[in-house]
Amino acid sequence: MKILMIAAENGALPGGKVGGMGDVIRDIPRALAKLGHQVDVICPGYQKFSTFDGAVKKDSVSVKFRQQVETLDIYQLAPDKQHPGLTTWVVEHPLLAPEEAGKIYSNDPPGRPFSTDASKFALFCQGTTQAILERQFGEPDVIHLHDWHTALIAILANSDPVYFSLKKIPFVYTIHNLSLQGIRPLSWDESALESWFPNLSYDYEQVKDPRYQDCFNPMRAAINLCDKVHVVSPNYLLEVQQPSNPAHGFVGGEGLEGDLKAAHDEQRLVGILNGCEYTSDLMPKANLANCITDIQAQLRDWQAAGKNEGRHQLALNSLASWSDKVNSSKSTPFIMTSVGRVSDQKIKLLQYKMSDGRSSLEHLLDRLNNNDLLIILGSGESDLEDFIAEVAAYRHNLIFVCGYAEALSLPIYASGDLFLMPSSFEPCGISQMLAMRTAQPCLVHQVGGLLDTVIDNVNGFGFAGNSPDQQAQNMLQRLDEVLLMRNESPKQWAKVKKQAAAARFLWSDVAQDYIANLYQ
């Protein structure tokens, strides 16, 4: 089978990953190729990836975009010798890097969300659709789109007579993050569907946003137009068919629950859990002293680059104190860790104010004694970064490493005793898998893929609740119980750690599920 996989990110390329989607686009094509399938991965070049060694310009396509003829170049990247069935392509144009080369996503002002990215990905989608029509990637058996960034390919194939011949090819659509839908106006803005494609005969009922009648929703359109719709865990499949309820702390279909339920009733909606890699180089031995040294080196590099110098100096000061303590102490401290994007999804529950007016994060730190430590690695929304940094400034047992480097995450995962993942929602989650493979049990909010991967009191620990207040209270109570187990029931604690390390979520199994349930 020949599979075209199209996405905004590709973690196989240096600088090609921002979130979990990048991991998936790196790993699932390799797993499918190992099963004997031909996989062609296509993403924007962002004026960077086409400059890599071994990249070869293969052809160009011309399209009419915003009533101007634009020419996009198609590059084939150097072959992956370990995966001969895998071919990587990038589509290039100056408008695909409107701010700087290599930058995948833009941060637009609140009044114009997604405006820069939507125009960029609209051009990418049209260029890619034209290249598919011209068979520049060969004859595909299936076209697999990922998230809202590529949804316009399905719209073009169903709305522009030039591309109607592509409708005979099965389309699959994967939702990685339902909270980001790429909503833009239908018209009256330069970043709008009718501004990009003024003559497009689209079906308004299929593409309109259910909440904003003068806007189009690319994610909703792809859900309605594609032959199969894939969400990245079985439990998340159930959640997205229900309406979100912020008062109860529940994140469901985010306005698209009706479309997703219809897809489920039509047997088009499929829930398949993502996988994880388990090579020995990704699972280093735990060594807190070396981990501290690695963090210090990375912080100094970030400081030298002029990034968040004040926050990095605060972390360096705390790390110096902890380094002295680790080197002089005969006992081993209890280390909690958290690695992930600093966003409402991941951090909001830690910011929740308890009855005394203090955050649940502060209450959590109260439960750690002076010999215990919480290390948070991540960056993202500035107000949430400020919140964590403010707590870290006066709490000795919190170190906030404001930034992200994958090489730094590995020793942090390996050095932790308990991984904290209180996500408000989690379509699949990769961080819990990465922690578990190093024998670090996880304390998670039992939502989405976290419920599918972390089994309470077996390979980790979970909490739930019918409101943010209940969730915060239950998180803290569950932490009390976990610490009690570790201190008073060491055999049971060791068993949970062993089960966490033994858990396996293999990409080879995921690939077989793709073939059986998405592509057939």
Average pLDDT over every residue of 98-102: 92
What are phi and psi for residue 32, nearest 5 degrees? -65, -40
Same domain, 265 and 291: no
pLDDT per residue over 406-461, tens digit each? Answer: 889 999 999 999 999 999 999 999 999 999 999 999 999 999 999 999 999 999 99
Structural contact between residues 272 and 232, judged by C-beta atoms closer than 8 angstroms: yes
Q: How many other CB atoms are there within 10 angstroms of residue 208's CB atom?
A: 18
pLDDT at 474 over 80: yes
Transcribe 122-158 into DSSP letters: HHHHHHHHHHHHTTTT---SEEEEETGGGTHHHHHHH
Per the DSSP assignment, residues forming a β-bridge with 59 are 74
In terms of phi and psi (left: phi > 0; alpha: psi -120 to 50; beta: otherwise), the region of 37 is: beta
pLDDT per residue over 125-160, tens digit each? Answer: 999 999 999 999 999 999 999 999 999 999 999 999
Same domain, 286 and 232: no
Same domain, 203 and 345: no
Same domain, 476 and 450: yes
Structural contact between residues 38 and 91, judged by C-beta atoms closer than 8 angstroms: no
Nearest to 322 by CA among 348, 343, 291: 291
Nearest to 312 by CA among 402, 388, 373: 402
Same domain, 176 and 95: yes
Same domain, 213 and 300: no
Average pLDDT over every residue of 378-385: 92
Average pLDDT over every residue of 12-32: 94
Same domain, 268 and 293: no
Same domain, 183 and 106: yes
Spatial separation of the C-alpha atoms in residues 427 and 424, rounded to whole Å: 10
Which of 87-91, 265-269, 340-344 is the least confident region? 340-344
Spatial separation of the C-alpha atoms in residues 434 and 145, rounded to whole Å: 26
pLDDT at 231 over 90: yes
pLDDT at 328 over 80: no
Q: Hey, what are 338's tokens?
A: 């958290």
Same domain, 234 and 309: no
pLDDT per residue over 233-287, tens digit each? Answer: 999 999 999 999 998 999 999 999 999 999 999 999 999 999 999 988 777 787 8
SS3 call for 163: helix
Spatial separation of the C-alpha atoms in residues 479 and 36, rounded to whole Å: 46
pLDDT per residue over 291-313, tens digit each? Answer: 999 999 999 999 998 877 889 99
pLDDT at 24 over 80: yes
pLDDT at 378 over 90: yes
**pLDDT for position 258:** 97
Same domain, 163 and 203: yes
Structurally, the chain folds into a number of domains equal to 2
Same domain, 259 and 299: no
pLDDT at 58 over 90: yes
Same domain, 244 and 307: no
**pLDDT for position 375:** 97
Q: How many other CB atoms are there within 10 angstroms of residue 53's CB atom?
A: 6
CATH assignment of the domain containing 170: 3.40.50.2000
SS3 call for 394: helix
Domain range for 463 is: 280-504
